[in-house]
Amino acid sequence: MRPAHPTEQAVGMTYYASDADGVGGRLREDDEQFRVRELERFETEPVDAPTDAYPHLVFRATLRGWDTNDFAARLSDALGVSRERVDWAGTKDKYAVTTQLFSVYGADPEELPDVDGADLETLGRAGRGLEFGDLAGNAFEIVVTDPERPANASAITDELRDFGGLETDGDDRGDSTPDRSIGVPNFFGQQRFGSRRPVTHEVGLEIVRGDWDGAVMAYLGNPTDAEPDGTREARRFVQETRDWHEALERFPNRLRYERSMLHELAECDGEPESGDFRAALERVPSNLQRLFVHAAQSYAFNLMLSERLERGLAFDRPVAGDVVCFSDTDAPDGLELPDTDRLQPVDDRRVNSVTRHCKRGRAFVTAPLVGTDTDLADGEQGEIERAVLDDLDLEPDDFDLPGEFHSSGTRRAILVRTTLEFDDDPLTLSFSLPKGSYATVVAREYLKVDPVDLG
């Protein structure tokens, strides 16, 4: 089994599923070479629908060089409304061309601003704002720049086809699927934790353990070599001195979340207490507060998948004790979309029948994103889940947290399959993934490079 890059190992992705050498190269040489388009699943009413019943304006945005959070902030500033009135279904990267849905409470179409790098198309109105997950998935078109071994893409595809283990018949899927369907472990990608500064899960782990002080310092401190010299020096300074006032002078304005935390701490009378550190964390947007805890859950999930790989347990079919979920029958054609609201434990008697469902894309083995309502698996997978949580000093009840930090947990498919096509000149990977799955988790198998080169 091929070990992953050390930076990936630090966020729980210990291995690759394929052993063949990667094609090398890098992604995102240009924003136009990394395209993401949401596979939408959100119904709207006409634009002239009554605003008392449908107060949310829904529009599609094609963004170039915009992080989703940054665009939402720019939009709310231009409209003169709270950023909390802007919602979206999925967070996208800055260094890409992305097409995604947004909603704004109380806005009219003519009020939408002209924003550099953004093309906006009004779709209609809705009775509620968009929520995370209000999409079926995403379609990707990714160009690999300067690949060293482009011919290796075929060998990697063969290995990933075997790993995915899909069986089809004429009634289940299109005739072309078996030749091009691949599978990879459904890891949370590097950007979940911070591509250049992977600390989000460290913040979340401290929150879940009840150490609010440690959580703030994990975010403010922890300098990395990928950051500019001035930023590293500012992080070292606050880590060593805890001089919040002077740190405000040193942290650059672009680090607005860090500065929001520092403002809260600088306003304290005397030394901040636990509640003050929690208040500092609550100064950042609510979606980022949730992301901290979600990143801790994601780290534990990645570790569970890596341990399953190391033990040689299959990803495409269950063993006794696993918990599976079934497919979403309303998913768009060609997209395997797990429905984690439909769970079933697998005992010895059910292994063979559930295996047949998994082989045909009708069911998926899962692992937990641990929260207060989590029931762990039995059997060998249960051993893995309990061992990971013990190593992290976590248990489900620890996620009974205040406000946006609380999480009841869920389960997530451990395998993601997709129909992948690649062109040779330039080497381009085209595929679609269900919501919540990461394109870089597919791309890492093909490139096998430093995750910094995955963007």
Active site amino acids: 93
Query: Which residue's entry shows tokens 């595929």?
Result: 431
Q: Please report, for residues 162, 177, 334, the alpha-carbon distance to residue 174 in angstroms, rounded to integers and kept in the order given.
A: 18, 6, 8
Residue 261 CB partners (closer than 8 Å, separation 6+): 216, 219, 220, 280, 281, 283, 284
In angstroms, the Cα distances linking 158 to 182, 184, 253 are: 8, 12, 48
Nearest to 52 by CA among 125, 130, 124: 125
Closest CA to 146 of 264, 285, 30, 1: 30
Q: Render 349-397 in DSSP notation, one character per residue.
A: TTHHHHHHHHHTTSEEEEEEE--TT-----HHHHHHHHHHHHHHT--GG
φ, ψ dihedrals at 419, nearest 5°:
-90, 115
- The encoded tokens of residue 155 equal 């060998």
Residue carrying structure tokens 């994990």:
218
Beta carbons of 302 and 198 less than 8 angstroms apart: no
Parallel, antiparallel or unpaired: strands 181-185 and 415-419: antiparallel
Q: Which of 385, 311, 306 is nearest to 14 (CA)?
A: 306
Phi, psi of 266 (to 5 degrees): -70, -20
Question: The tokens of 78 are what?
Answer: 């231009």
